[in-house]
Amino acid sequence: MMAEGTSLASLPAQGEQAESQLQFQKPVLIYMPCYNCAKKVVQTIREIPAELHDMIECFVVDNCSSDKTSAIVLEEIKAKRHPFRINLIQPKENIGFAGSQKLALYIASLSANVKHVIVLHGDGQYPPIMLKQFIPYLEKDFAIVNGHRSKRVYPDKEETPFITYSIIKFLSFCESVLLGLPEKEWHSGLVMYKTEFLRKIPFQFLSPWMHIDGEFLMCAGVLKEKTFSVPIYKRYKGFDAFAGLGRLKYITHVLRLIWRFKRGYYHNFLRGANKAQIPYQFYIFNNC
């Protein structure tokens, strides 16, 4: 339901108008995908390191949460507790994690002021302190800088369960070999994208599946863009483990995307003259 003080915009017809309403000014946009993150999102925002405050804005996309995520974020905005601006939008309907990511990154790519977008999940599973890992690469020529979880670098902090950790590392190894694109991890949710790179992606051709960050790495490979990886750790205590049918479905999607790549799917649409299109409707919280 649309809250008081919001307006409805649609993409692609009103994409430029939506960006002008949001009016991003800072060079780094912290994009926070949220779904039922009411218990964690404000804490996550407050944990963003002070070293970044002068260069960032936050962009929260609440994907139709059934809890009070949007209301809580809006209260945080009104309270003006932070030296950086917080922007909040909500899709008209739940568009999934991939849809949220495509919507946010597309809007960010429309802004001439935004140079980098960093994905920081609103549930706090990726510690905001890890954002400092990206600062040295803001002036480097990397299209993507992603975090790779490391029990070696963070033996006391990296909490990914052993089985999940092993599967992620094995899948990453297989993707690197099969795709011919060496990456330390293909499955990180803590990623920095250069908007110059994002403007080359027709988002409508990317899948609706969870492995969309891996698809961006594939696109970078096709376009011969440079990528880099930094060590991070991930919290799991107090979070639901990724297991069962969800894990099996995810692995199936990964295999399907590898097959798409091998058949030239990404090569075809990236080498065409396709303009990015995003059809999702969303509410802009003007109080931002």
Averaged pLDDT, 161-169: 91
In whole angstroms, give the CA distance from residue 202 to residue 37.
Answer: 29
> What CATH number is given for 6-260+278-285 in this structure?
3.90.550.10
pLDDT in tens, 259-269: 999 999 999 99
Say how far apart CA 62 and CA 37 lie, in whole Å: 9
Rounded Cα distance, 284 and 181, in Å: 38
**pLDDT tens, 86-98?**
999 999 999 999 9
pLDDT digits over 3-45, tens only?
Answer: 434 444 544 334 455 555 678 999 999 999 999 999 999 999 9
Residues 6+ apart with CB under 8 A from 103: 11, 61, 91, 95, 278, 280, 282
pLDDT tier at 238, thresholds 50, 70, 90: low
Residue 134 has what pLDDT? 97
If phi over 0 gives left and psi between -120 and 50 gives alpha, with beta otherwise, what is residue 75? alpha
Percentage of the residues of the chain whose pLDDT score is greater than 70: 89
Q: State how far the Cα of 102 lies from the Cα of 117, in Å rounded to an integer.
A: 12
Kindly tell me the sign of the dihedral angle through the C-alpha atoms of 87, 88, 92, 98.
positive
pLDDT at 237: 76
- Determine the Cα–Cα distance for residues 26 and 257; give it in Å rounded to an integer: 34
Joined tokens for residue 282: 């969303």
| pTM attached to this predicted model | 0.91
Mapping DSSP onto H, E and C, the string for 58-110 reads EEEEECCCCCCHHHHHHHHHHHCCCCCCEEEEEECCCCHHHHHHHHHHHHHHC
Q: What is the pLDDT of residue 107?
A: 93
- Residue-level length of the chain: 288
Q: Which residue has the tokens 């002008």?
A: 20
Mean pLDDT of 90-107: 94
Q: Is the backbone peptide bond immediately before 83 cis, with ω within 30 degrees of 0?
A: no
| Helical residues (DSSP H) of the chain, grouped into ranges | 15-22, 41-46, 69-79, 96-109, 162-179, 195-198, 212-222, 244-262, 265-270
C-alpha distances in angstroms, 14 versus 110, 235, 279? 11, 38, 10
Can you give the pLDDT at residue 12? 38
Q: Residue 160, by phi and psi: left (phi above 0), alpha (psi -120 to 50) or beta?
A: beta
